[in-house]
Each structure stands twice: as C-alpha cells, then as structure tokens.
A = this chain, B = another copy of it.
C-alpha cells in the first residue's frame, strides 16, 4: 500500500483515505476537543458560517489573528479545551477547513496532527486504502509545519508497511528526521502565534504521539463538515 503527500490540497482528486493536516492549530485542537469529551466537531470555513451553523447549546470556536472573534466561546487554542465536554463544537478555521473540503471525494477523511500521528496512521491502515496526506498550507503557500507533520505520520505509515510514492513523500520523510519543536518553531504559523503571545500553543502542537483520538468525517451540516472521534 502506498502513501502520497500533497504540500497543498488538490480539490477533488482524492479517492482512498485522506489525512488532513493543519497542525498549527486546527487539526491539533480538533483532536483535543474530541479527546476532552466534545460530542462532535463541525468544521466551518469562516467566522460568519460558524455563527450561522451553531445550534443551541453548542460551543463556538474560532480565531482572527489568533484570538476569538466577538461572541465566540473559544479561540482554537489547544490549551483551552475543557469547556467542550458533552457539547458539539462549531470550529471556524480557514486553511484547515479548505483542505478538508478538498478531500471530500475521499472514502475516509481523518484529521492528523503530531499528537495523534501514530494512531492516525493505524486508523488509516485499517481502511485498507491508499493514503493521501493533505497539507493545509497557508493561503495557497505550502507550510513547513504541515509538511513536517505529514512526514512524521508518513514515518508511522512506513512502519506499518506503506511505501512513499512521489518526491514530496520523500521530502516530508527527510524533514521528519528533525525534532519537532525546532521545525515547528521555524514556521510562519508559529511565528504568528508567538507574535500574539501564544507561543505556548506551538509547544503543545509539537508534542508527538501523546493521544489516540482521531477525528473522522461523518457527514455535512450545511456548509459545515461534521467529525466524530
């Protein structure tokens, strides 16, 4: 079985199993919401759509410049997940949601991060399909942090018998030979968080193989994509 790495999403090209990676911070925080006990997660492509999708009793999470917009309960920080217990979370993210949308033709869509790297690889293997690691990138530019994370998940896939297919899979694997924190810290995404006083989020996103919760796509709610653990 093979795995590929796409530095940027290629909408409509996915068939087997897609692992969407937006490690700083959407897919890291998404996993932590479900691990903390959220009932479900609805990925929304922006702040206004998230407001419209939220139903009574649900949590609104999102960010503009790293911070929660007006009326939002949470700011997408992986260090602020306790309030979601037993509730659905509507989460506004730009690049992560765009990547998840691009994967909609795939048979299975999983959200991957460094924190669930080993488990997301195992869940992908269980599907019995070819795996596409879909890096979110940022505004159409590829992102070092996402490519690195794809490499770490790729290493786990290799350990499970998958072969890298294509040059970008090899590039990601070679990147993954470096330790997580220095690589993530060099990314523009990390520097932006540090700039708004959220540098500790980078350290949280850089923790590798620390839990076993993998958000899995269940279906649509309007423009929102619903994930469960």
Contact = CB atoms under 8 A, between A and B. Distances in A.
Interface of A: 141, 143-144, 147-148, 167-168, 170-171, 174-175, 177-178, 182-183, 186-188
18 contacts: A141-B167, A143-B167, A144-B167, A144-B168, A144-B170, A144-B171, A144-B174, A148-B174, A167-B187, A167-B188, A170-B183, A170-B186, A171-B175, A174-B175, A174-B182, A174-B183, A175-B175, A177-B177
Contacts of A183: 170, 174
A177 B179 CA distance: 11
Nearest to A173: B186
A105 B171 CA distance: 30
A73 B14 CA distance: 46
Contact of A174 (B167, B168, B186, B188): B186
A195 to B, nearest CB: 15
A191 to B, nearest CB: 9
Contacts of A171: 144, 147, 175
A114 to B, nearest CB: 15
Given A167-B188, A170-B186, 11 more contacts: A144-B168, A144-B171, A144-B174, A147-B171, A167-B187, A170-B183, A171-B175, A174-B175, A174-B178, A174-B182, A174-B183
Contacts of A148: 174
Contacts of A168: 144
A183 B178 CA distance: 14
A167 B168 CA distance: 16
A171 B168 CA distance: 13
Contacts of A186: 167, 170, 174
